[in-house]
Chains A and B, each alone.
Chain A
């Protein structure tokens, strides 16, 4: 599984996260193993930046090719790439599933919003807290030919899940008791690990 010792911290993190997961029945993720099918995409957008770069920061393709892009206004501006194995792509998908990225629904959204508000009122009664002034959005996009969740018999063809979360890490830190936020932030942290991976080679 480990193509390079350099990746050890990233994958140890992934394994630890997977160990605590419910693995009664493994899910099935089916996707073309080719260089043109984007399986996982992660990006961030900042509403203060008007000349935002639309290219996603992280793209992982069906053949395991990882592309990282930093806009011209960032310190590490340019495009980078590295290669991971099919097992590693599967492990990432399993991680995203376990951390709830593939399952978020609008009902969960409403519950989480109310939970954040209730927690805030409980901890600091009478205090008015504005989380932050200028928002950033984390965007996860997972595409599969088919997806069968572990405890389900119902396949989902042409699975395409896009999840956009506002100020994810900030909210996770501010609300340590909200499990869904912690899980989503964990998933983001693993994907962001690719952005500074030692195996990345600059290609442009």
Chain B
């Protein structure tokens, strides 16, 4: 068959030369099989694309099935017990814990930082490794409702072919508008993502401050009175919502500073703290359905690390074989009123592929890991110089391990040995104390346990020296003997 076709090919070459010349033209087809989600500052924001209906460019995203009721909104963060690293025999699932606990703490503190990029020798990451904590921080941001701040992979149908194409991704997040083409240009200063850039008919998706258009500052309050997505609300002289990437940060005077939601990382890079931009975006969402801070529908975001579990998880992080790198896959529903302006995320899963070199940070950034209050019951009427053991406490309320120390006795964690040497204790651990009761009657011995700054004292007290049945009996016997001696002596004296 092959031989026949080759002859046929030669015979018909002249007849089909015109068609053949057309087929010889290089065919390059970029196929995009997912509807483009032109997510901006909030992850579900998108416009219509042909017959595919978008969610709208003004959509605000909320985490943990927020339903419009204000208060503390708790987001459970879990590590999937099924996590595996098929590429590394030394991997233990617990390697992920400190990073995840740090991430939970970082989002709870929402501390504004600058200089949050640490490259090469300025971090604890090997040169060819990606920092799990930094990448997972970015993905948790997505799972909380944040989108990329820049024109990222959702905006383009194919990966960049060169540095110039890659640089386009520093433009601030937008849709491509009615003409389905991005019309941006760098403006007079030549810096992509700065306030003089050109938009054309692209629709800005980035929420900016009406007064300063600076993603490295934050206003108070953060709501629709101070922030906007509409470019006509930009400060006088600005025509473009600035992007929170490292080049623009330099314009504002901040070195090595970038939003954690800027898509892209390199090996040997640590970016483990937040800048003002993502905090402002979270706080805008926290202003509730009415987008006005200070009303009953406001919520406070509180992440809780739930452990290596599948129970009560709003965000689940899993490490496993996957052809991707790392991503969050959230699913949500519209919540209102209004009916079409807010989406609440019901579930979110983060997948991290195990085929890459991952560095798992083992340095805890949680400095306020204080447990719930605990106490020990006092023990009374003890014999002297006996070993006394306290009741057992279970350490609760911590998101991280904490220092433990003891004064005046020893402690034991779970089934370990008793010790007086300072150590660390984890949430859920059982702790028990012991000491030797006093050598004296009616005397107390105290042992004080301190965990993460929280302390409690265990007290034992020996019985009184003249109290108790044994002592009374001795006294009676002595009195009887003395009485008998007195009677005998009296009889001798009186010859009775």
Do A and B make up one complex?
yes
Which A positions have Cβ atoms within 8 angstroms of B? 25-26, 28, 30, 44-52, 72-77, 104-106, 108-110, 112-114, 116-117, 124, 126-139, 146, 148, 153-171, 181, 188, 192
Tell me if B435 is interfacial: C-beta within 8 Å of chain A.
Answer: no
Quick one: which of A112, A154, A160 has the most chain B CB within 10 A? A154
Contact residues in B for A159 (Cβ distance below 8 Å): 23, 27
Inter-chain CA distance A100–B491, complex, in Å, is 130
Contact residues in A for B323 (Cβ distance below 8 Å): 44, 136, 138, 168-169, 188, 192
Q: Per a CB cutoff under 8 Å, which of A73, A134, A167, A188 touches B33? A: A167
Tell me if B34 is interfacial: C-beta within 8 Å of chain A.
Answer: yes
- The answer to whether B265 touches A157 (Cβ under 8 A) is no
Contact residues in B for A128 (Cβ distance below 8 Å): 44, 55, 331-334, 343
Contact residues in B for A117 (Cβ distance below 8 Å): 35, 51-53
Given A113-B52, A168-B33, do A132 and B331 touch, yes or no (CB 8 Å)? no
- The answer to whether B331 touches A130 (Cβ under 8 A) is yes
Given A77-B128, A113-B35, A153-B12, do A136 and B20 touch, yes or no (CB 8 Å)? no
> B49-92: which have CB < 8 Å to A?
50-53, 55, 87-88
- The answer to whether B356 touches A73 (Cβ under 8 A) is yes
Say how far B351's CB is from chain A's closest CB, in angstroms. 8
Inter-chain CA distance A51–B355, complex, in Å, is 16
Closest chain B residue, CB of each to CB of A189? B323
In order of increasing CB-CB distance, the 9 nearest A-B pairs are: A47-B153, A156-B23, A46-B325, A75-B87, A135-B153, A133-B142, A132-B327, A45-B159, A50-B264
Q: Per a CB cutoff under 8 Å, which of A133, A135, A163 touches B31? A: A163
Say how far B47's CB is from chain A's closest CB, in angstroms. 14
Say how far A163's CB is from chain B's closest CB, in angstroms. 6
Given A51-B267, A75-B357, do A126 and B333 touch, yes or no (CB 8 Å)? yes
- The answer to whether B357 touches A162 (Cβ under 8 A) is no
Contact residues in B for A135 (Cβ distance below 8 Å): 34, 153-154, 327
- The answer to whether A164 touches B158 (Cβ under 8 A) is yes
Say how far A134's CB is from chain B's closest CB, in angstroms. 4
Given A47-B263, A77-B128, A132-B328, do A112 and B33 touch, yes or no (CB 8 Å)? yes
Inter-chain CA distance A48–B135, complex, in Å, is 9
Say how far B228's CB is from chain A's closest CB, in angstroms. 23
Inter-chain CA distance A157–B32, complex, in Å, is 26
| Segment of B2-10, B200-208, B364-372 engaged in the interface with chain A | B2-10
Inter-chain CA distance A167–B32, complex, in Å, is 9
Inter-chain CA distance A51–B153, complex, in Å, is 15
Inter-chain CA distance A75–B21, complex, in Å, is 45
